[in-house]
């Protein structure tokens, strides 16, 4: 009784035997109620003879049993019913054994995909999620279950590969700033003969390294939060939302110095997690502030086009080559221009996280850039104010809205 196969076979056999017993019992009781049956109760008849003197005398040892025709018929019916009962009980036993064997065979065939699922699960390990069930046969519930598990394994395999790649990349990215901090501490700060200028320079280097590590950890936390699905979606009015995000960055832009302007339009509403969406816009804006030349202008705008709400960040920075425009959203993908190196690098996760956040909100990221003229990053999100109207297109526009 410990396996499903045994339980299925036994349950099937018991149910079939029970149904057969009910049918046979019904037939038996139907016959007993419609025919007259009773055991034969014969009458003993003794033989007599007349003597010469005229008296009637019993002949000792000579007698026979007799019954009327109706009694004989009832006795025949009774014998037939008893035979039917005996054979019915025997048939029930045979039905139980045969159905048990058939149930065992059928259950084994039905549960074969489950056995394959078990074998596949036993072959899986944390380092190898490539095994698949690849079930064949009719498209029944078990085939659907196997296909669903294969799909789940595909997603898990992709997630594990992404996690491993992320850990490897993070380890690589953290190695350099940690080494910088350690080298400056050992070579300068721990040296009693170091001059104040050397100590000040070492502290500045350590500050930049720790700032980079802090950015990296913040971006990693944002990535973990996005993957955990811990979003709290709500209606967001982009006009006030974009204005608030821009105000948070005015001081940082003024230190460059950069002119920070806004072009926001009233009306568009999106359904999103405000904190995550603010993180995405902040990543774009921080990236633009870091790369734009001093004295240039940054423009942040929002609006709605063809049923799609948009948030755009435009800078007058170095621009991005056409061949690099798709790769710029990859994790730890950083520019290699002299300008970028001089102004300090980010964590390498900002644009990747921004795209992940936008796509998790059913949106799209777009980039419009020209070398030497600057770049415009655009976030497209479904405009919930127009979600149910026919003018909303299935894909966001391809032209730059800002």
pLDDT tens for each residue of 94-110: 999 999 899 888 888 88
- Rounded Cα–Cα distance for residues 387 and 365 (Å): 19
| 3-state helix, strand and coil shares in percent for the chain, rounded to the nearest 5 | 55, 15, 25
Give the pLDDT confidence of 169-208 residue by residue, as tens digits: 677 667 767 887 888 788 777 777 788 888 888 888 888 8
- Rounded Cα–Cα distance for residues 367 and 260 (Å): 20
- Indicate the SS3 state at residue 312: strand
Report yes or no on 150 lying in a domain.
no
Tokens of 165: 């790649």
CATH no. for residue 292? 3.30.565.10
Report yes or no on 319 lying in a domain.
yes
Are the CB atoms for 251 and 278 separated by under 8 Å? Answer: no
Secondary structure (DSSP) of 140-182:
SHHHHHHHHHHHHHHHHHHHHHHHHHHHHHHHHHHHHHHHHHH
- Rounded Cα–Cα distance for residues 197 and 203 (Å): 10
Report yes or no on 128 lying in a domain.
no
- Output DSSP code: residue 293: P
Predicted confidence band at 41 (pLDDT cuts at 50, 70, 90)? low
Higher pLDDT, 348 or 137: 137
Which of 47-51, 138-142, 297-301 holds the top average pLDDT? Answer: 297-301
Report yes or no on 335 lying in a domain.
yes
Report yes or no on 154 lying in a domain.
no
Domain residues for the domain of 71 are 4-110
pLDDT the model gives residue 336: 41
Same domain membership, residue 99 and residue 240: no
Report yes or no on 157 lying in a domain.
no
Final residue of a structural domain among 94, 110, 126: 110
Q: How many domains does the chain have?
A: 2
Report yes or no on 180 lying in a domain.
no
What is the pTM for the complete model shown? 0.55
Same domain membership, residue 391 and residue 255: yes
Final residue of a structural domain among 110, 127, 159: 110
* Rg from Cα positions in the chain: 45
Q: How many CB atoms lie within 10 A of CB 157?
A: 16
Are the CB atoms for 390 and 364 separated by under 8 Å? Answer: no
- Rounded Cα–Cα distance for residues 377 and 351 (Å): 10
User: Does 312 have pLDDT greater than 90?
Assistant: yes
- Range with the poorest average pLDDT among 114-118, 159-163, 395-399: 159-163
Final residue of a structural domain among 76, 110, 144: 110
- Rounded Cα–Cα distance for residues 99 and 203 (Å): 84
- Range with the poorest average pLDDT among 40-44, 114-118, 187-191, 263-267: 40-44
What would the mean pLDDT of 309-317 be, rounded to a whole number? 92
Give the pLDDT confidence of 223-260 residue by residue, as tens digits: 666 655 556 778 899 999 999 999 988 888 888 889 99
Report yes or no on 224 lying in a domain.
no
Same domain membership, residue 238 and residue 95: no
User: What distances in angstroms separate CA 126 from CA 12, 163, 169, 224, one per listed residue?
Assistant: 40, 12, 19, 19
Same domain membership, residue 261 and residue 401: yes
Same domain membership, residue 235 and residue 106: no
């Amino acid at each position: 009784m410990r396996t499903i196969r045994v339980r299925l076979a036994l349950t099937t056999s018991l149910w079939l035997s029970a149904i057969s017993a009910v049918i046979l019992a019904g037939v038996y009781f139907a016959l007993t109620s419609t025919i007259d049956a009773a055991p034969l109760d014969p009458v003993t008849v003794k033989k007599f003879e007349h003597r010469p003197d005229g008296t009637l005398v019993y002949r000792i040892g000579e007698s026979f049993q007799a019954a009327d025709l109706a009694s004989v018929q009832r006795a025949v019916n009774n014998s037939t019913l008893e035979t039917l009962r005996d054979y019915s009980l025997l048939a029930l036993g045979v039905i139980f054994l045969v159905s048990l064997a058939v149930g065992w065979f059928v259950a084994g065939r039905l549960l074969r995909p489950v056995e394959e699922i078990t074998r596949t699960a036993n072959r899986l390990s944390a380092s190898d999620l490539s095994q698949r069930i690849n079930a064949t046969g009719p498209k029944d519930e078990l085939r659907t279950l196997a296909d669903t598990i294969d799909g789940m394994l595909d997603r898990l395999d992709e997630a594990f590969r992404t996690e491993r790649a992320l850990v490897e990349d993070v380890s690589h990215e953290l190695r350099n700033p940690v080494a910088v901090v350690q080298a400056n501490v050992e070579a300068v700060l721990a040296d009693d003969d170091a001059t104040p200028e050397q100590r000040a320079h070492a502290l500045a280097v350590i500050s930049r390294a720790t700032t980079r590590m802090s950015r990296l950890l913040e971006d990693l936390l944002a990535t973990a939060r996005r993957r955990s699905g811990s979003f709290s979606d709500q209606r967001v009015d982009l006009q006030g939302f974009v204005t608030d995000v821009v105000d948070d960055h005015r001081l940082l832009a003024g230190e460059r110095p950069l002119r920070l302007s806004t072009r926001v339009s009233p009306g568009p509403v999106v359904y999103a997690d405000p904190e995550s969406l603010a993180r995405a816009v902040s990543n774009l804006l921080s990236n633009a502030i870091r790369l734009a030349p001093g004295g240039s202008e940054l423009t942040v705008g929002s609006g709605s086009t063809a049923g799609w709400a948009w948030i755009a960040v435009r800078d007058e920075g170095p621009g991005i080559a056409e061949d690099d425009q798709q790769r710029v959203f990859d994790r730890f993908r950083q520019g290699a221009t002299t300008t970028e190196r001089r102004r300090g690098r980010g964590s390498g996760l900002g644009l990747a996280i921004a795209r992940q956040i936008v796509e998790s909100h059913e949106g799209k990221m777009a980039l419009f850039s020209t070398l030497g003229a600057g770049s415009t990053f655009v976030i497209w999100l479904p405009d919930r104010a127009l979600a149910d109207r026919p003018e909303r297109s299935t894909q966001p526009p391809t032209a730059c809205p800002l």
